[in-house]
């Protein structure tokens, strides 16, 4: 490791967090909680640990504002990281090795322990400078985002403890951007729907042309879904942002008992992510209509049916967004705010009627989320702290 960073406390705190292997599956979050409690102690800030689900801790560090009755600011990040293929890494994925040219290699450097530390370091700087903010700031660290957040932010967002935080605006993760002076932000997400279509027909000998077979009905349904996919793909190929199109992907097909026996039943599964501008009820009705058209015995069921969550408005009606956009622009940085193509914990915050923006100030950086050799340059990380510091000050003084 490059020795020149040994005395850099900001880098060493970041490395210490990265070295905690909070990796799926079967994570023990105990070391993360201890690390964060230590940070709160150093900052002389109160810290609470909630467990709406056993062994799934929610850590909240609170910096009270001058007007604590005002709606507060939430800086959220998740403690968990995805698994690694260690044999494909240049350095140990939980070693947090710093190279001579200033890159830190570790799982979580982009997604998203870096952002959690940017939140903490920005508050550390503001407090050290004697700054007092109008609104209270809560820095939260949650579990299980990488497996859907059901036992993490979703569970927490439904508790009285979450409601008592009185959140008026939230920040969460977006993604790195290779552009040197543009931050990618998200103000909403597509809705995940995973379905299984089942087609039933008369069984019989494989040599016959019996009408209304399960295979014919399955063909009709697959054709409908794949035609929709082609239409949406055409939009994406035409440079429409990925989050603005509905993705449809066939993921499984199964059924039948033997190659020369017409099956009584065939099933197919689709992973669908519906863009926000679509009427989700009309989408359901469209699938029901296809089933009727395919013939008797065709039905579908949801394996995942997430509710539609309204996007945060970026039309000037949310003063927190306007404040953060202005302060970032004043730093000579542009913000591209779009719909997230994936899913984050911010959807659970928005579901409670709270405006939230996903914001990862990681620029001039190749996207390596969930990839081998996930890394961030120290200069990029520290620049992110600079930006978050200004953003926190701006939104907490709205």
Catalytic residues, which ones? 80, 145
Q: For the chain, how far is it from start to end, CA to CA, in angstroms?
A: 43
| Residue 259 burial by Cβ neighbours in a 10 Å radius (0-12, 13-18, 19+) | exposed
Output phi, psi for 353, to 5 deg: 80, 15
Q: Choose among 127, 187, 132, 96: nearest CA to 381.
A: 96
Q: What is the DSSP string of 106-136?
A: -TTTTTTHHHHHHHHHHHHHHHHTT---SS-
**How far apart (Å, rounded) are the C-alpha atoms in residues 213 and 204?**
9
Residue 290: name the closest of 230, 222, 233 by CA.
222
CA–CA separation, 177 and 174 (whole Å): 10
* Rg of the chain in Å (alpha carbons): 24
**Is the distance from CB of 349 to CB of 74 less than 8 angstroms?**
yes
Alpha helices for the chain (secondary structure H): 9-18, 30-43, 113-128, 155-157, 160-164, 214-237, 280-294, 319-330, 346-350, 378-396
- 204: burial class by Cβ within 10 Å (0-12, 13-18, 19+)? middle
Q: How many beta carbons lie within 10 A of that of residue 218, not counting itself?
A: 23
Inter-residue contact 105 to 95 (CB < 8 Å): yes
Report CA torsion sign: 340, 342, 348, 352: positive
Contact of 290 with 283, CB cutoff 8 Å: no
Closest CA to 298 of 272, 266, 259, 269: 266
Give CA–CA dist 100/103, Å, rounded.
Answer: 8
């Amino acid at each position: 490791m490059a020795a020149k960073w040994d005395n850099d406390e900001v880098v060493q705190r970041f490395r210490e967090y990265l070295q905690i292997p909070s990796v799926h599956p079967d994570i023990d979050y105990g070391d993360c909680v201890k690390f964060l409690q230590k940070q709160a102690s150093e900052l002389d800030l109160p810290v609470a640990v909630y467990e709406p689900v056993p062994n799934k801790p929610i850590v909240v560090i609170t910096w009270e504002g001058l007007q604590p009755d005002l709606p507060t600011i939430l800086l959220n990040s998740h403690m968990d990281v995805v698994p690694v293929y260690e044999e494909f890494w240049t350095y140990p994925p939980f070693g947090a090795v710093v190279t001579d040219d200033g890159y830190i290699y570790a799982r979580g450097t982009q997604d998203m322990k870096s952002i959690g530390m940017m939140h903490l370091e920005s508050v550390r700087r503001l407090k050290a400078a004697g700054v007092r903010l109008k609104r209270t700031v809560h820095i939260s660290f949650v579990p299980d985002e990488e497996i859907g957040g059901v036992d993490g932010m979703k569970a927490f967002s439904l508790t009285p403890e979450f409601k008592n935080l009185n959140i008026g605006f939230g920040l969460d993760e977006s993604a790195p951007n290779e552009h040197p002076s543009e931050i990618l932000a998200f103000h909403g997400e597509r809705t995940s729907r995973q379905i299984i279509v089942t087609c039933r027909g008369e069984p019989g000998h494989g040599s016959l042309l019996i009408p209304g077979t399960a295979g014919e009905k399955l063909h009709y349904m697959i054709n409908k879904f794949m035609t929709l996919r082609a239409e949406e793909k055409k939009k994406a190929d035409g440079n429409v942002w990925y989050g603005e199109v509905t993705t449809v992907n066939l993921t499984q097909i199964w059924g039948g008992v033997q190659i020369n026996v017409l099956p009584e039943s065939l099933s197919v599964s689709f992973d669908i992510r519906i863009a926000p501008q679509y009427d989700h009820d009309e989408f359901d009705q469209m699938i029901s209509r296809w089933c009727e058209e395919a013939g008797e015995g065709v039905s579908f069921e949801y394996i995942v049916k997430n509710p539609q969550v309204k996007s945060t408005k970026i039309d000037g009606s949310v003063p927190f967004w306007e404040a953060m956009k202005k302060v970032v622009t004043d730093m000579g940085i542009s913000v591209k705010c779009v719909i997230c193509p994936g899913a984050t914990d911010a959807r659970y915050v928005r579901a409670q009627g709270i405006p939230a923006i996903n914001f990862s100030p990681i620029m001039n950086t190749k996207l390596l989320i969930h990839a081998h050799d996930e890394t961030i340059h120290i200069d990029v990380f520290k620049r992110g702290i600079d930006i978050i510091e200004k953003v926190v000050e701006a939104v907490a003084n709205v």
